[in-house]
Amino acid sequence: MKLNTRILPDIASLSRAVLEETLAIIQEAVAKRGRFAIALSGGHTPEKMFSLWAETAQYRDKTPWDRIHLFWSDERYVPENDPLSNYHMARETLISHVPIPAENVHPVPTNLSPPEACARAYEADLLKFFGAEPPAFDVQLLGIGPEGHTASLFPGSAALDEKLRWVAAVRVPAEPSQRVTFTPVVLNRGRNTFFLVAGENKRDILSAIREESATETSQYPAIRIHPAKTPVWFLDAAAAG
């Protein structure tokens, strides 16, 4: 399949490009709907974007923080202070450095047992914020893993075929193995979808998905995400090859 790519020389310029695109969408969303909702991804790739957002006056001061709402497309089932927590990473790099109201930060709960209870609680949070229709995020950031997973949707996962639930608790073949993730019911509604992909170790999976033709049934979850607006794949030169 042909990917809609933007290739940048390195992770810093990739992060700036995603951020500038996001800031433009923020202005538009706030003007139209009075608020901007973003689904953040986990993993390491977005760290640079988050820290640039927090540290660069030009980006930080242009952001109407009281209108910004942060959500997560997936979370690891670990306590919120665990270094493996996606919320923890965003808190350290972004949230604790910017004047965003606490009530605008919507982490996936991970303190309920079993993980399924966390999925249901997050769905309830989403319902409260977005109403009865499945959420359509103004921006959803996603990454890709070496076997094609995105969010915590791994190859072969039943959650990929979910038609009703917005959020699923899943067991994945990676550490930590228990996770909570948006299902395609949500991810297929994103208004803007940005994949952030950096590093040489992403080259093989990018070549593999470029060879794929079908998206609906692909073995690679990342390309089963097909919102109306075509996702943009932000690649650094090392990943693009």
Contact positions toward ligand 6PG, by CB under 6 A? 41-45, 74, 76, 86, 143-145, 149-152
Residue 236 contacts residue 49 (beta carbons within 8 Å): no
In one-letter notation, the amino acid at residue 149 is H
Shortest reach from residue 238's CB to ligand 6PG, in Å: 12
Cα 189 to Cα 22, 69, 70, distances in angstroms: 17, 17, 17
Shortest reach from residue 151's CB to ligand 6PG, in Å: 5
Residue 129 contacts residue 69 (beta carbons within 8 Å): yes
128: tokens are 């409260």
User: CB neighbours of 24 closer than 8 A, spacing ≥ 6?
Assistant: none
User: Helix 86-93 to helix 47-55 angle, to the nearest 10 degrees?
Assistant: 30
Q: CA nearest 74: which of 15, 150, 176, 14? A: 150
The smaller minimum CB distance to ligand 6PG, of residues 145 and 184, is found at 145
Shortest reach from residue 224's CB to ligand 6PG, in Å: 13
Shortest reach from residue 22's CB to ligand 6PG, in Å: 16
CA 71 – CA 91 distance, rounded (Å): 12
Shortest reach from residue 32's CB to ligand 6PG, in Å: 28
Shortest reach from residue 144's CB to ligand 6PG, in Å: 6
The DSSP annotation for 160-188 comes to GG-SS-SEEEEE-SSSS-EEEEE-HHHHT
Residue 206 contacts residue 7 (beta carbons within 8 Å): no
The smaller minimum CB distance to ligand 6PG, of residues 43 and 155, is found at 43
The smaller minimum CB distance to ligand 6PG, of residues 30 and 78, is found at 78
The smaller minimum CB distance to ligand 6PG, of residues 64 and 156, is found at 156
The smaller minimum CB distance to ligand 6PG, of residues 115 and 143, is found at 143
The smaller minimum CB distance to ligand 6PG, of residues 41 and 192, is found at 41
